[in-house]
Structure 1
């Protein structure tokens, strides 16, 4: 069984809407997931760009999400700890929380 992660803001393989990039509002997109294995203790989420010129670029580190969590709203605040106990790490922009795509020219893929 594989966890299925989706966003109501865009489909897999589509361009990430400008709103969620450094050229827009630079807020995190809404996310949902299902097909969670029984006995899951917590979730972690990492968003990265393996096509960055200097090596993989990390845009978001989120961990310790409670096991009953099945979604994240748009624009998760950039706090170290969220109200549900989840924690956010430092991204490669040297900021806590989400840092949207801001690539140089060329094709870039983003993975969550």
Structure 2
């Protein structure tokens, strides 16, 4: 009999497919639905004190790992395109067993904001959609012991305000972000323990 966790993960993967595709290497979280999205500009995203592609600080991981505090990272972005009205952030794990596992979907971040402080309390005007686990909110990196996964923190510059409501289904929030994307940037970090095999 298929476990509840596996059923939930497979259902979420199907939802992503219906939205247009899982998160892709080129930065889109669904099939672009307008010409400007296809030509979206890249901008710079950094985590101060961290080099892209390296190991994430332990405190950003889940409590299953010693020192894990589950904090959101200190994200900083610059060079966004003109016409940006708001930002959205999607955090995903492309190395999950059943395809990209989306850990966080948040939008409605104001056009004048260029940093998300580590562990920050969210502004009440921001909205969050469901993650792959069908929960609202940030799920910190927490790969199975013995596995090391990549975690992608992608910021999208949108040509509109928040394109979905709080608690939106994953496929709906991802499609809405894709529809309004005019720019995107990404930083990737590794987290987990190396296999003993």
Q: TM-score range by the shorter chain?
A: 0.7 to 0.9
2:106 & 2:142 partners in 1: Cα distance? 19
Residue from 109, 112, 136 that aligns with 1:68: 112
Q: Is the 8 A contact 1:60 1:91 kept in 2?
A: yes
1:41 equivalent to 2:82? Answer: no
* SS at structure 1 position matched to 2:59: helix
1:48 & 1:41 partners in 2: Cα distance? 23
Moved more, 86-95 or 61-70: 86-95
The runs of 5 or more residues in structure 1 that have no matched partner are none
Q: Which residue is equivalent to 1:89?
A: 129
- Structure with the higher helix share, 1 or 2: 2
Q: Which residue is equivalent to 1:100?
A: 140
Residue from 43, 51, 54 that aligns with 1:11: 51
The normalised TM-score by structure 2 is: 0.51
The CA deviation string for residues 39-67 of structure 1, in whole angstroms up to 9 with x for no partner, is 10111110100110122111111111111
* SS at structure 2 position matched to 1:48: strand
The normalised TM-score by structure 1 is: 0.85
Q: How far is 1:13 from its partner?
A: 0.7
Cα RMSD of the aligned pairs, angstroms, is 1.7
- Number of aligned positions between the proteins: 108
The runs of 5 or more residues in structure 2 that have no matched partner are 1-40, 154-197
Q: Which residue is equivalent to 1:109?
A: 150
Query: Greater CA radius of gyration, 1 or 2?
Result: 2
